[in-house]
Structure 1
Amino acid sequence: MPAVAVAQLFSKLFEYSPQLGFVNDLLVTLNLDAYVQAWLAQGETAFGVLVLMDIWRSMGFYAIILYTGLIDVPDDVIEAARLDGASGFRLVTSIVLPMIRPILLSAVIFSLNGTLKVFESAVALTGGGPGNSTTMLTMYMYNTAFSYGEYGYGSAIAVYLLIMCLIVTLLIYRFARKNVS
């Protein structure tokens, strides 16, 4: 889903004024008035809402990836494992997870690299505020290069972000290879 549309939805869900959003209204209904707050106006809660929004927004993508991995597991392997006595948790941990390991590895890499490169969600929901509590590295890079005109420093931040993503990917591959042997 587009980040701007999801950000508008979440800003309405966690609204504080001029009227209470769904979350604050639910807290009032449950007699939890002490927890009603301006979620997007405080650094700790604004970051939490941003994380929740990004998880909700990307859940469908990862669900499809994992579903395609699951339907790719051959039925005869599952049947053979069941005939050998595997069921439930043992079937999942010993048969299914090892067979979809490359798919899981790809999903983890997509997820971690996507987390490092969050931009449009933070811009659309909070604009980096309150203060700098939701200012991501990508927003800092953008502002440095295009708002302050420091293109060299902005490019250096972009290269740093590229190197971080590369290191995360290589670490995941190395960890995955180490667990195979």
Structure 2
Amino acid sequence: ARDKYFDIRQVAGQPAALVSSLVAGSRLERGGDLLYRDYDFQPAAAASLCADNLVDGLLVVLMSEIERVETRRDRIPVNYLEAPYRSVQVRAFVVLSDGRVAWSFPAGGSWTFLDLQYPDFDEAHYNRTDRVWVKDISLEGVERALAEGADPKKSGPAGLPEVYADLFDDIVSGLAPLLDGLL
């Protein structure tokens, strides 16, 4: 029986420089009713990064802002607003040393990391109007959302802010079938 070995390690480098060398291009795609960004990878850069770091593939997690039409509901579920909203979306890929994508998350879409806008149903209610305005979440609100649930006393995933922990849990769950096939 052949022994199998699996290792995960961080690739050192400046994130912006790694992305600019590894990503060959991106385009907007449609998955059902949702718009998301898809990516192509540079085979030579993937080969170089894999060789330099002694790995067979790269887990690449990309975040981008996108505006797409979504339906958002009020606290009273019967009220909703279908409108364009901006949000930070995530795509993750396992890129092999030849530049091919072995796995993507989520398949055929993107994962909402953080909403940047919201419908102000309360303002419409108190102003006695049906006109619901879409408003930006403040910088302070974004910072609080990104820090929520963080526990600096804990190390590793247990100490991560909730939004990051949820993202990594979903990526790991999605990777599990791929890893089972490798191990």
TM-score normalized by the length of structure 1: 0.29
TM-score normalized by the length of structure 2: 0.29
- Structure ranking higher in helix proportion: 1
- Structure ranking higher in strand proportion: 2
Give the number of the structure with larger relative contact order, counting CA–CA contacts within 8 Å between residues 6 or more apart.
Answer: 1
Q: Which one has the largest radius of gyration?
A: 1
